[in-house]
A and B are shown apart, each in its own frame.
Chain A
Amino acid sequence: MSPLLDIEGLSIHAGGKALLSNVSFSILPGERLGLIGESGSGKSLTALAAIGLLADGLRPSGSILLDGKQVIGARDRDLVPLRGAVAAVVFQEPLTALDPLMKIGRQVGEAVRRRARRDGGATDATSVMSEVLDLLDQVALPQPQRIAESWPHEISGGQRQRAAIAMALACKPKLLIADEPTTALDVTTQAEILKLLGQLVRERNMALLFISHDLPVVAGAVDRVVVLRHGRIVEHGPVASVFRQPIHEYTQSLVAAARAFDNALEIAP
């Protein structure tokens, strides 16, 4: 089985400074990979580079094969059909992930319509709307009809994030990139969103690139982890072994910190 995303020796420079150096990993279809590290370690940058959406001043080098096609150096026109069909993204901040001037239904509908045009499906209003409602239902939004007719500012953060996930799902991607999808949410909502993501990925046999700085969150969501620090990979392996016996001292400190926090919670009355 050829990998869905194959990153080989990826470095990103901005004005002579290396933001990411020599990062390599790959994701097989249906596989779940976690990318962890502190803020500024290059996690989100890696994700954006993978779909060819780096900002102008950032120069990537190395090789990124997305579904077998080279992303680095490719023209935007050639990447457009690749995005969506292969990869979709769920962002950290649910408030900015939705267009504030578009009702949820139309917003998800745009993604559905683009997918339908791509696959040659029906793009009439009725079939698009019924698929939108179906998607909203799949991400466990209550009263899909009502949500579809709401503006983004009228629903809660967790609901917005579910709507954003519905938009990503509408593309029917083979790879879902989740960039800290739960960071902006409270703990209860966070757990629900994680459960939902896990279930959707399993049901649809999607690959998952899960980006987070939160070890316990990652541990439950993925099979393998890549630990990034200062733009370099410091550790790479199955989630169980990395967390049980971390080799690199940075990972050890991360795990120790997470454990200390857990212990503190248990001791606390």
Chain B
Amino acid sequence: MTDMDLVNAVSEGRPRRSWTFTIGAVIVGLHLLVGLSTLFWTPYDPSAMSGGRLEVPSFEHLAGTDRLGRDLFTLIMIGSRIALTVGIGAVIIGGLIGITIGLIAAFASKTLDDMLAAGLDILIAFPTLLLAMLIVASSEGASLGTAIIAIGIANSAIVARLTRILAKRVLAMDYITASRISGTTWLGVVIIHILPNIWPTLLVNLALQFGLAVIAEASLSYLGLGAPPPNASWGRLLQEAQGTVYSAPFGAIAPGIALVSLVIGINLLADGLRDIADPTRRRRS
């Protein structure tokens, strides 16, 4: 095959969506749809006793009821909204802080870069949850906002370190020098070359951070440091179901399934996104 044949073959084939992207998008989309719908409608009033205590799943109560007789499916639906809010918020905060610090470190003089790198290493050495707990504990009471900020800051260190190393690798390329020679400013280099080149890897990492943020939020509210009642976070549902896990296991299984499905969905989506964002990974047929 000559080069031109290859060019023809490639440019005629459309980029394919991978199955991971489709499945991930469906799962995350479902959670998003359910989460958003709870703003307008839920099957039952989330704080009202709508049935007997600890009922098993039935057509009236798809996931059974909790020990106060509230409909678990309703609570899990609201949990979707809270998990997504915290996930998105934490990724935006972590991404903005992390990418900014990472880029500064990549461009900085050696001294500043070393200082930033050491600071990030110290931050990363703290377990995310511990760091989030510290931030929540040092603020005025736990709320959805403190959980988002805490998890976001905890995540930003990893994003920053990744951004720094990815940006440094791109900076060493000849096309950056060529671009600089033709008169591009540093900001131009970042926007035109560095961000597009590190974006696919960064995107996958941010999605991973999204999944971790969802888990971190569940952990925080399991410990009573997340969104306070009446916000029905999955972590709190798990914690409430703990006492009755042997007599009514579905109270713990149902929020668990919701949590795991969202995290898996996000990771699949990220994997598919990477294939789409990076032209060199597109299939050539």
A-B contact pairs, 19 of them (CB 8 A): A53-B181, A76-B186, A80-B185, A83-B180, A88-B182, A91-B174, A91-B178, A96-B175, A99-B197, A102-B193, A102-B196, A110-B182, A150-B7, A153-B279, A156-B3, A164-B178, A167-B182, A168-B182, A171-B181
Cβ contacts A136-159/B at 8 Å (1 or 0 each): 000000110011011101111001
In the complex, chain B residues whose CB is within 8 Å of the CB of A51:
181
Cα–Cα distance between A151 and B278 once the two chains are bound (Å): 11
Do residues A84 and B11 form an inter-chain contact, with CB atoms below 8 A? no
Question: Which B167-190 residues have a C-beta within 8 angstroms of A?
Answer: 173-175, 177-186
Among A76, A88, A146, A156, the residue within 8 A (CB) of B181 is: A88
Contact indicator A56/B183 (Cβ below 8 Å): no
- Interchain CA distance A57-B113 in the complex, whole Å: 14
Q: Roughly how many angstroms separate A150 CA and B279 CA in the complex, as a whole number?
A: 10
Give CA–CA (A48, B278) in the complex, Å.
Answer: 31
Residues on the A chain within 8 Å of B181, using CB: 51, 53, 83-84, 87-89, 171
- A118 engages B183 (CB within 8 Å): yes
Q: Is the beta-carbon distance between A154 and B179 smaller than 8 angstroms?
A: no
Interface size range on B against A: 20 to 34
Chain B at the A interface: SS class: helix
* Bound form: Cα–Cα A164–B181 in Å: 13
| Chain A residue contacts of B279, Cβ below 8 A | 100-101, 151, 153
8 closest pairs, A vs B, by CB? A84-B183, A84-B182, A91-B174, A156-B3, A97-B174, A96-B174, A83-B181, A99-B175
B4 at the interface (CB under 8 A from A): yes
Within 8 A of B (CB), among A80-135: 80-81, 83-85, 87-89, 91-93, 96-102, 110-111, 114-115, 118
- Which single residue of chain B is at the shortest CB-CB distance from A90? B178
Closest to B177 in A: A53
Decide if A170 is an interface residue (CB 8 Å cutoff): yes
A residues near B (Cβ < 8 Å) are 48, 51, 53, 56-57, 76, 80-81, 83-85, 87-89, 91-93, 96-102, 110-111, 114-115, 118, 142-143, 146-147, 149-151, 153-156, 159, 164, 167-168, 170-171
* Interface residue? B110 (CB, 8 A): yes
Given contact pairs A98-B175, A101-B196, a sample of 15 additional A-B residue pairs in the complex whose CB atoms are under 8 Å apart: A89-B178, A89-B181, A92-B174, A96-B174, A97-B174, A97-B178, A101-B278, A110-B179, A115-B182, A118-B183, A147-B7, A153-B280, A154-B7, A154-B11, A167-B182
